[in-house]
Chain A
Amino acid sequence: SQQGEEDPQALSIQEGENATMNCSYKTSINNLQWYRQNSGRGLVHLILIRSNEREKHSGRLRVTLDTSKKSSSLLITASRAADTASYFCATDGFNFNKFYFGSGTKLNVKP
């Protein structure tokens, strides 16, 4: 299937450290997006990177995309306790209407 798979499944770090999580997918894409889900809430869009882009920044977020390896990474710098959440990548598999999510990386930032 097309679904993205995040790695690691869980990550625990101290406040101030950087957090890196990875996403792999299986088929060609137009865009890849990262979303955050706080416990008991819906997903919130963080950042989108197009298939012809290699890196994108937004505040403390840095996303990379390697289409040859069908992988992406999300780096959160100088993490805060408020960053504690699950992070999902979503790929569109050339179908703008349909996104594939994985099961996320659960990030715990300890104060």
Chain B
Amino acid sequence: DTAVSQTPKYLVTQMGNDKSIKCEQNLGHDTMYWYKQDSKKFLKIMFSYNNKELIINETVPNRFSPKSPDKAHLNLHINSLELGDSVVYFCASSQLKGGLTKNIQYFGAGTRLSVL
């Protein structure tokens, strides 16, 4: 009963391919995120969806397209994969509340993408 689960955990693919990473949360949260973590462990937000609506898009190349079919799912599709896309991608969720929001983020275990 993992709170935020993403699949696959490892993804090895060839340059130029298209791939998807899936994320699901069972916490009932209304907001989901995609982050990327580089080899120096720097963690950076890519996208955020609130109630299936895109609210943050951090100037990510349009080869990356998030899709949220419902509040519990946020998938990341990557077209024309490049060598530089080889990082770890993390999905996260949180519940935004009115007033003094805490916005504590719950993370998945990560997907390590290797583009050859």
Q: A interface vs B, CB < 8 Å?
A: 30-31, 33, 35, 37, 40-45, 48, 50, 86, 88, 90, 92, 96-104, 106
Q: Does B83 contact A (CB under 8 A)?
A: no
A42 touches B42 (CB 8 A): no
Given the contacts A42-B90, A98-B56, A92 and B103 also touching, CB distance less than 8 Å:
yes
B48 touches A31 (CB 8 A): no
Closest to A33 in B: B104
Q: Does B87 contact A (CB under 8 A)?
A: no
Q: B interface vs A, CB < 8 Å?
A: 4, 31, 35, 40-45, 48, 50, 55-56, 90, 92, 96, 100-110
Sample of 20 more A-B contacts, CB < 8 Å, known A41-B109, A43-B107, A102-B42: A30-B100, A30-B101, A31-B102, A35-B107, A42-B109, A43-B43, A43-B90, A43-B92, A44-B107, A48-B102, A50-B100, A86-B41, A90-B105, A96-B103, A97-B103, A98-B56, A99-B103, A101-B43, A104-B41, A106-B41
Interface-central residue, B43, B96, B107, B108, by most chain A CB under 10 Å: B43
A103 touches B104 (CB 8 A): no
Given the contacts A43-B90, A86-B41, A48 and B56 also touching, CB distance less than 8 Å:
no
Which residues of chain A are near B41, meaning CB under 8 Å? 37, 86, 103-104, 106
Closest to A42 in B: B107
Which residues of chain A are near B56, meaning CB under 8 Å? 97-98
**A88 CA to B105 CA in the complex, in Å?**
13
Query: Which of A99, A102, A106 is within 8 Å of B105, CB to CB?
Result: A99
Interface of A, secondary structure class, is: strand
Query: Which of A31, A41, A98, A103 is within 8 Å of B42, CB to CB?
Result: A103
Closest CB in chain A relative to B13 CB, distance in Å: 20
Interface-central residue, B31, B100, B101, B105, by most chain A CB under 10 Å: B105
Closest to A86 in B: B41
Given the contacts A48-B102, A50-B100, A97 and B42 also touching, CB distance less than 8 Å:
no
B44 touches A101 (CB 8 A): yes
